Copies of this chain bind each other. A is one copy, B any other.
């Protein structure tokens, strides 16, 4: 096995990647050389704030693997300061609910300036990674602007609905108002970033980490061409359930699955992705040990399935998950 490709969201994906790299570096992948890892990261959470282009998932992966992440929060920079955020609030400039750390701002300044100079996001990401050395090749899913917007119930709006950027739904509303509908602005016109389709087609295995199946992995799959590549590649595709015991481990997968009428269970998500032998995108699926009873239900979909511990409590536990995923199709 020479190359792995991972379609990743932010925190969950980054933590999974940490475990995967730990497994690779400690030679836990049975019979394998140390494969190269390509990460295709979700960019539909991206947002322009105070004139700066912010890419939360790309940065969470980059900071996590580059050892710059704030471990406690799981996002943003370690030893962060918040002077600019406080000042922007003193100026009364919106959005006040999206606080940028001072160290983090430097990343966004470099990115924004390169984008303004005409570099595509993929080239910018490569430049930023020259500093962070994440140990993976990190690609945005697309160089085009794609944004997840969420229609939420708002009794004060004439239509009863209000559409907000995903970040506003997640950060300001804390995902605790019902998401009635998801809109992926720009998705139909987007193309995969350079290298994305090739990374899927030429991989030995493609992994879907326990990232949000709707607004992280789902948006990556939504970029025209990526789903086709997943179905066409000779590489097996294995996913890990972000739902354990009918609840997400972190984030807001429950709300997002509910918004698109998918059952909030490890089997529900497997069915949502679907079997490649049918019209879906996965060959294998890991559920948590506590969901072992769901294995037959997933296998009935034509998806190889195994129940293993899926709690990413430390790099060893997470490495074991990555090893189990690869063994499922190995």
Contact = CB atoms under 8 A, between A and B. Distances in A.
A88 B109 contact: yes
Interface in A81-118: 81, 83-88, 90-93, 101-103, 105-107, 109-110, 112-113, 116
Contacts of A116: 51
A83 B103 contact: yes
A103 B84 contact: yes
Q: In the complex, which of the residues A90, A93, A105 has the most CB atoms of chain B within 10 Å of its own CB atom?
A: A105
Copy number in this complex?
2
Contact of A131 (B80, B84, B90, B109): B90
Interface residues of A, number: 30
Contacts of A112: 51
A96 B113 CA distance: 15
A102 B88 contact: no
A128 interface: yes
Contacts of A110: 50, 88, 91, 93
Contacts of A77: 87
Nearest to A115: B51
B113 A51 contact: yes
- Closest CB pairs A-B (n = 5): A87-B106, A83-B102, A51-B113, A102-B102, A84-B106
